[in-house]
């Protein structure tokens, strides 16, 4: 979990630094291309490129089209508003996953999910404070990014039934390199030498941070991991203050705490429900292993 926190905080700082010089399209393209190179050891360990073959290319294409847009919006938001605000608004991801899971996957809208959605909306209202001054465009962009990541999670859920984590990340890097080639070419400029270290950091953190989170979830329950992930809000606020002299906003932390409360309520309610004995097996258990409820996962993936 320490690796995940360090990677995500560092990624946000590096994205802000690179965004001062390069267009977001170019940053994302370089991130994907460098990511492919950096990911070679994981591909080799998994059995090589031949193991990356898939029968679900359409699923990968759909997921990565949505993820590319969400990632673009996230990087764009990083260049527009305080980093801590972006991270705090990003915590609404599980709220949107819960709603999309009901619509797209037919999952139940439980009382816990309703409460999580309500608290998520309240938390965003505290951060954005509409009507008190004005709604910053960057805040709207960050919120749309969180919704996009939620859509990506819903789409990737079906891929996890047949695809390995390594395969999913491999196709993410390859497909997004192709998707971003034309937009990056249009705005391309030779990156200054001083920016390359930040681009490498973005590629490393963006590629390997998810492995840290995966291992964290293997060794601890989500009810432990999610509160620890909340540390990203004060940590990014501290990093932004040290590196960019960004002003600390208490409303951001309070709003993020309200959003976290909703996420935890949904997590604990889901955990208590799953711990109860089943009286009748669900048909899906005959052919597929049990998987975590989609509404209890979130973040960039």
CA torsion, ordered 204, 215, 104, 257, to nearest 10 deg: -90
Residues 107-125 have a mean pLDDT of 78
Above 50 in pLDDT, residue 113?
A: yes
- Residue in 216, 69, 221 with CA at minimum distance from that of residue 144: 69
Above 80 in pLDDT, residue 170?
A: yes
In a domain, 301, yes or no: no
Q: Please identify which residue in the block is written with the tokens 């390199």.
A: 177
Task: List, in sequence order, every beta strand (DSSP E) within the chain.
Answer: none
Neighbours of 19 (CB within 10 A): 18
Which of residues 229 and 27 earns the better pLDDT score? 27
Above 60 in pLDDT, residue 277?
A: no
Tokens of 97: 């996953």
Above 80 in pLDDT, residue 270?
A: no
- Residue in 124, 26, 37, 136 with CA at minimum distance from that of residue 75: 26
Q: Which helix (H) or strand (E) holds 169?
A: helix 165-179
Gap between the Cα atoms of 71 and 107, Å rounded: 26
pLDDT band, residue 256 (cuts 50/70/90)? confident
Which of residues 294 and 128 earns the better pLDDT score? 128
- Residue in 266, 294, 251, 267 with CA at minimum distance from that of residue 122: 251
The total number of structural domains that make up the chain: 1
Q: Give the CB-side neighbour count of residue 17, counting CA atoms within 13 A.
A: 21
- Residue in 164, 206, 212, 175 with CA at minimum distance from that of residue 45: 164
Determine the pLDDT at residue 280. 40
In a domain, 284, yes or no: no
**DSSP symbol at 20:** T
In a domain, 76, yes or no: yes
Above 80 in pLDDT, residue 19?
A: yes
CB 34 within 8 A of CB 203: yes
Determine the pLDDT at residue 26. 96
Quick one: CA dihedral 8, 9, 11, 16, positive or negative?
Answer: positive
In a domain, 90, yes or no: yes
Which of residues 150 and 186 earns the better pLDDT score? 186
Q: What is the pLDDT of residues 25-73, one digit of tens each?
A: 999 999 999 999 988 998 999 888 888 988 889 999 999 999 999 999 9
Determine the pLDDT at residue 282. 43
In a domain, 282, yes or no: no
Above 50 in pLDDT, residue 289?
A: no
CB 60 within 8 A of CB 175: yes
Q: What is the pLDDT of residues 74-88, one digit of tens each?
A: 999 999 988 888 888
In a domain, 283, yes or no: no
Q: Can you list the alpha helix ranges (DSSP code H) found in 1-92?
A: 2-19, 24-38, 40-46, 57-78, 83-90
Gap between the Cα atoms of 36 and 18, Å rounded: 20
In a domain, 187, yes or no: yes
pTM here is 0.79
Angle between helical axes of 57-78 and 83-90 (0-180°, round to 10): 140
In a domain, 27, yes or no: yes
Which of residues 259 and 72 earns the better pLDDT score? 72
Q: Average model confidence (pLDDT) for the chain?
A: 80
Residues 235-252 have a mean pLDDT of 82
Structural domain range at position 77: 2-274+292-296
């Amino acid at each position: 979990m320490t690796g995940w926190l360090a990677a995500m905080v560092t990624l946000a700082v590096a994205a802000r630094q690179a965004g001062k010089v390069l267009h977001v399209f170019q940053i994302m393209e370089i991130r994907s291309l460098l990511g492919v190179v950096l990911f070679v050891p994981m591909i080799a360990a998994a059995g090589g490129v031949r193991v990356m073959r898939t029968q679900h290319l359409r699923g990968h294409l759909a997921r990565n089209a949505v993820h590319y847009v969400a990632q673009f919006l996230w990087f764009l938001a990083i260049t527009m508003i305080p980093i801590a605000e972006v991270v705090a608004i990003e915590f609404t991801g599980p709220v949107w996953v819960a709603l999309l899971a009901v619509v797209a996957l037919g999952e139940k809208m439980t009382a816990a999910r309703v409460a999580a959605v309500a608290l998520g909306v309240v938390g965003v209202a505290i951060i954005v404070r509409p009507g008190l001054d004005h709604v910053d465009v960057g805040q709207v962009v960050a919120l749309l990014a969180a919704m996009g990541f939620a859509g990506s999670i819903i789409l990737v859920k079906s891929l996890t039934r047949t695809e390995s984590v390594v395969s999913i990340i491999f196709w993410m890097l390859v497909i997004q390199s192709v998707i971003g080639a034309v937009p990056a070419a249009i705005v391309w400029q030779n990156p200054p030498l001083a920016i390359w270290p930040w681009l490498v950091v973005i590629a490393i953190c963006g590629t390997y941070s998810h492995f840290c989170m995966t291992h964290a979830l293997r060794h601890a329950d989500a009810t432990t991991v999610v509160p620890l992930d909340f540390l990203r809000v004060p940590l990014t606020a501290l990093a932004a203050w040290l590196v960019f002299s960004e002003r600390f906003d208490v409303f951001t932390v309070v709003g993020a705490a309200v959003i976290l409360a909703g996420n935890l309520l949904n997590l604990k309610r889901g955990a208590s429900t799953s711990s109860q004995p089943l009286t009748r097996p669900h048909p899906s258990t005959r052919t597929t292993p049990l998987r975590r409820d989609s509404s209890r996962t979130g973040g960039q993936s």
